[in-house]
Amino acid sequence: MFTLYMYILRVRLCTALPHATLFIRVFLLSSRRSSARAIEELQRTLIEVETRYKTEITRIKKKYETDIRELEGALDNANKANAEYLKQIRSLQQRVKVCSGSILL
């Protein structure tokens, strides 16, 4: 009886095995395809994000370059005004010396 039962199990296993391997192959193929699609989608998303950020970085860089040029121009103007004020101060100091010298005489 035991050998008959073992024989029946063996026959069932042998007939079920090809179906199981077919199921596993189909499952693996489906998994590979879905994984490949997911990877492709991630790559597209990565390219889009890189492009968006490169554009944003370029825009910010141009803005900062413009700001720097404006600040350099303002600094040049401030330096010129400072030089003019120093000339005026020296001139006024000379006049004070002359005036104070003539008062003392």
Count CA atoms closer than 13 A to 87's CA, side-chain side.
6
* Mean of pLDDT values over 38-53: 96
pLDDT of residue 104: 61
Q: What is the DSSP letter of 1?
A: -
Per-residue pLDDT band at 47 (split at 50, 70, 90) = very high
Q: What is the mean pLDDT of the chain?
A: 85
pLDDT at 2 over 60: no
Amino acid letter for position 35: S
Bigger pLDDT: 65 vs 14: 65
- Measure the CA–CA gap between 39 and 51, rounded to whole angstroms: 18
- Measure the CA–CA gap between 81 and 73, rounded to whole angstroms: 12
Torsion of CA 53, 59, 61, 65, to 10 degrees: 180
pLDDT digits (tens, 9 = 90+) for 49-86: 999 999 999 999 999 999 999 999 999 999 999 999 99
pTM of this prediction exceeds 0.85: no
pLDDT of residue 25: 73
Tokens representing 33 are 């395809």
